[in-house]
Chain A
Amino acid sequence: MAAIRNDIRRLRFAKGEMTQQELADRVGVTRQTVIAIEQDKYAPSLETAFRIALVLGVRLEEVFSHRGKI
């Protein structure tokens, strides 16, 4: 399980119930990758993380947080 957690699912619904496929298409990844990110099974690259935040219209730290020890 990745140390990076996210709030994508809640933010998608806040953004007019955006579907996983719609988010995937706008970010430029597959729907399976969006599912994997939402389930904390994959920590995306910095570029993809920024693109997700841009599409959802929020700041990066509102989407992702780090739960691991430094």
Chain B
Amino acid sequence: MPFREKSAWISLVTTLLVYAYYFWNVSNRRAQNGAELFGLLIGCVVVLVVLQIVFHIAAAVRTPRDAATPRDERERLIALRSTNIAFYVLASGAVLAAMGLVFVGEAFAMANLILLSLVLAELAKYTSQIFFFRRGL
């Protein structure tokens, strides 16, 4: 598997697992206030960064030439199209979060809805990257 596709898989799986843990904690009310929520989020971000660095290094060691090659026009186009798809997911989530604030009126819920939109947008980006790498543009 080419390095860029491996990178997308690593990002997809680690993002999914780490934020599944975060939102599981949030939905079970394990973070009760702003400070606990912030601590949980920072912890998850640190774990995500460490996991991604470790797995990317491991992937680069297996295919060093592939990893060192700069993105070419096809890979840049894939990145652009995937980011475009992610934008629509993020925009939809932002609108839903704004509606949530109007109807629920709770900053805690809105903050997590915005974060969820961001995570879903990232997942959409990595999924569409993998799709374009495999099926073509």
Residues in A lying within 8 Å of B, measured CB to CB? 1-2, 28-30, 32-33, 36, 39-45, 48
Given A29-B72, A36-B74, A48-B73: A41 and B2 interface contact (C-beta under 8 Å): no
Contacts of A36 in B (CB 8 A): 74, 136-137
Q: Contact: A30 with B2, CB < 8 Å?
A: yes
Q: Which residue of B lies closest to A41 (CB)?
A: B136
Count of chain B residues near A, Cβ 8 A: 12
9 contacts between A and B (CB under 8 A): A30-B2, A30-B69, A32-B2, A36-B74, A40-B136, A41-B135, A42-B136, A43-B137, A44-B74
Secondary structure type dominating chain A contacts: loop
Q: Name the interface residues of B56-79: CB closer than 8 Å to any CB of A.
A: 66, 69, 72-75
CB pair A41–B137 under 8 Å, yes or no, is: yes
Q: Which residues of A contact B73 (CB under 8 A)?
A: 29, 33, 44-45, 48
B74 to chain A: which residues have CB within 8 Å? 29-30, 32-33, 36, 42, 44
